[in-house]
Structure 1
Amino acid sequence: MKRFGDPRVAAAFKAYGPNVRDRLMVLRETIFEVAAATDGVGVLTETLKWGQPSYLTEQTGSGTTVRIDRLKGDSGGYALYFHCQSGLVGQFRDLYPETFSYEGERAIHFGAKERVPVRELRHCIALALTHHLRKKRKK
């Protein structure tokens, strides 16, 4: 398990209830694993944006910010958030129309007891972390 480099992020995770915290920790680890395994991404910066744990490709500028958080209310649900103007959620919806539950153009939602499709999730995270690289190659 990767240690927290930012005490504010550690405090944000500590503030979550234990069930959602465990699921968000798995998402966090998956984000770091995908970054390490994906060419061009480099070391991620972990910080808070809008009070949410956020993962940035500051070192390389390869991708867009990925954020994670619980869903509002007491459902135990949680989500992976993306910049709403990036077009990423639309790409995910095209690739995996029945695999995930989506919130508009900004998020993939997960239910408290839902099995997470890991292979597909890792692909979506890799697409987000390389979003800017792919845009540059198209020009």
Structure 2
Amino acid sequence: MAASAPAVEAVFNAYPKPVKARLLALRRLIFDTAKTTKGVGALEETLKWGQPSYLTAETKSGSTIRIDQVKAEAGQYAVYFHCQTNLVETFRELYPELRYEGNRAILLGAEDKVPEAELRHCVALALTYHLGKRKNGAK
């Protein structure tokens, strides 16, 4: 995993401890999933809207993923996806047991067991979102 930019590190360091630990684990999961998902390539870690964000800058294969604490709810954090995609709609169909915020996020609790397999699949779908569209458009 590439070293973070100082601005990204500063955001992680500002999180409350339990949420920070979960977000750092989520960050590792995103990088690991990118590494093991065909067609994704290297991820770029940056800040978008003040949130740690992960872009497939090298291959343009996916939709940006952002992670952050949920400001309105202590001990909650989320994985955010572009709301103009059908990603969260797809995740709802695949994993109705997860908690969602509209068409833009999967909500998680710092005290809850992490649904790792489900999150890996959702992250992989987001990181390859444009690959699927290109393939479908080429038919």
TM-score, normalised on structure 2? Answer: 0.95
Shift of 1:73: 3.2
Q: 1:29 to 1:130 in 2, by over 3 A?
A: same
Q: Which runs of 5+ in 2 are unaligned?
A: none
User: Which residue does 2:124 correspond to in 1?
Assistant: 126
Q: Distance in 1 between matches of 2:43 and 2:73?
A: 30
User: Which residue does 1:73 correspond to in 2?
Assistant: 72
Q: Does residue 96 of structure 2 align to residue 105 of structure 1?
A: no
Shift of 1:5: 3.0
Q: Distance in 2 between matches of 1:102 and 1:22?
A: 21
Supply the AA of the counterpart residue of 1:32.
F
Q: CA RMSD in A?
A: 1.0
Alignment of structure 1 residues 1-139 onto 2, 5 Å: 2=1, 4-98=3-97, 100-139=98-137
Shift of 1:17: 1.0
Q: How many residues align?
A: 137
Supply the AA of the counterpart residue of 2:124.
A
Q: Distance in 1 between matches of 2:4 and 2:51?
A: 15
What CA deviation, in whole Å up to 9, does each residue of 1:8-44 have, x standing for no partner?
0011101111111000000000000000000000000
Shift of 1:137: 0.4
Q: Distance in 2 between matches of 1:120 and 1:5?
A: 26
Q: 1:91 to 1:74 in 2, by over 3 A?
A: closer
- Give the secondary-structure state (helix, strand or coil) at the position aligned to 1:79: strand
Q: Distance in 1 between matches of 2:83 and 2:73?
A: 24
Supply the AA of the counterpart residue of 2:136.
K
Supply the AA of the counterpart residue of 1:88.
L
- Give the secondary-structure state (helix, strand or coil) at the position aligned to 2:126: helix
Q: Distance in 1 between matches of 2:35 and 2:14?
A: 27
Instruction: Name the % identity.
Output: 57
